[in-house]
Chains A and B, each alone.
Chain A
Amino acid sequence: MLINAYSKAVYNIALNFFADKDIAADVTQDIFLKTYHNLEKFKEEKNFTAWLFTISRNYCIDYWRKNKKYFLNNQELDEKISIPDPTPEDNLIRESEIVELRKKIAQLEPELRIILILRDIQDLSYQEIASKFSIPEGTVKSRINRARLKLAQSFIGGEQ
């Protein structure tokens, strides 16, 4: 029940946060393990989704901080290795675009990244994000704006 209802949302947070399918799978598993272990503590909480999303956000940010060197090295390597010319097949172009977009998102600050994922990828409203993470709606809006600007700037910088 729990897995059917929430695995897609959690997996997509991890996948777009780390831009790596293997890490996303491991992190998703860890998040659900953590959730099961702490289910007894949940009784006091009001909203399960908010609780699960907070666990996911905290876990992703912790995981990224613990392995920061690895991720930064990988980003540098990715920048050095040129992206191969797109093949004529549409699906392959789309696939390479997705990979590039994910890599650019993974370069944002963790707090901006998580909010961009929830708003623009998972289509949550500002209000929902604010209530899930117990932060003011204005903060969510300004973070989303910063995240979008940085993402756009990273593409413009790459083009120049």
Chain B
Amino acid sequence: MIHKCKEIESLLSAYLENELSPEESVKIAQHLASCPHCLNLKEKIEEILPKLSDLQEEVPFFLKNRLFNIPEISEKKKFAKIIYFPKWLAAAVGTIILFLNLFYFTNIFPSVNREMHSVVGSIETFVVQTGGWFEKIKESKDLLLFTFFNKKTSESKDEKMNSDFNLNKGLTKGGKNG
């Protein structure tokens, strides 16, 4: 293959799609007339190109079904991700709980056992104290609500009494006049 053939090959598609200048097109046509190798290539491309558009196919029914199910699958995967808990973490937590129970309820290592009981004791004290705080907060909240509502009801009672009093006063006046 001569150097000129390489140059012609690089321009073949543009030549077939009429994208070259008239001078370039004439130059290529002249070369093709004298070079069977390049002519063969050009004819083969011309033969293949129309066939390529026949390679389009419809999507098979089974695949369409699979594709329409994708959003559902990805939703399930998202949910699975949310509740995902690594196995190694679960194993580690389980082992720690097991050992804590062992040290707390048995006296294999007395020092650890003592330490754990003191920790549990301090936690219990803390819980009792916080319970006390919660009770106090609850009491003060109840007291606040009671005073607020009591004030409101007493105000409404006063208003009612006043209106009743005025009404009675009006009636007695009317009676006297009548």
With A36-B70, A98-B55 as given contacts, are A11 and B12 in contact (CB-CB < 8 Å)?
no
With A29-B66, A149-B12 as given contacts, are A156 and B55 in contact (CB-CB < 8 Å)?
no
Give the interface size class of chain A.
35 or more
Q: B59 — which chain A residues lie within 8 A by C-beta? A: 7-8, 11, 28
Interface contacts beyond A29-B66, A122-B56, A151-B45: sample of 15 additional A-B pairs, CB < 8 Å, sorted by A: A7-B63, A15-B55, A25-B62, A25-B63, A37-B74, A94-B54, A120-B49, A121-B55, A142-B10, A145-B10, A148-B48, A149-B9, A149-B45, A152-B45, A156-B40
Residues of B within 8 A of A (CB): 9-14, 40-41, 44-45, 48-49, 51-60, 62-64, 66-68, 70-71, 73-74
Q: Does A77 belong to the interface (CB within 8 Å)?
A: no
| Contact call A120/B52, Cβ cutoff below 8 A | yes
| Contact call A25/B48, Cβ cutoff below 8 A | no
| Contact call A101/B64, Cβ cutoff below 8 A | no
Number of A-B contacts (CB under 8 A): 93
A contact face: mostly helix, strand, loop, or mixed: helix
Shortest Cβ distance from residue B55 to the other chain A in the assembled complex, whole angstroms = 5
| Contact call B55/A102, Cβ cutoff below 8 A | yes
- Specify the chain A residue showing the minimal Cβ separation from B56: A12
Question: In the bound complex, how far is the Cα of B49 from the Cα of A149, in angstroms?
Answer: 11
In A12-41, which residues have CB < 8 Å from any B CB? 12, 15-16, 21, 25, 28-29, 32-33, 36-37
Q: B41 — which chain A residues lie within 8 A by C-beta? A: 149, 152-153, 156
Q: Does A97 belong to the interface (CB within 8 Å)?
A: yes
Question: In the bound complex, how far is the Cα of B61 from the Cα of A11, in angstroms?
Answer: 12
A82-109 CB contact bits vs B (8 Å, 1 = yes)?
A: 0000000000001001100110010000
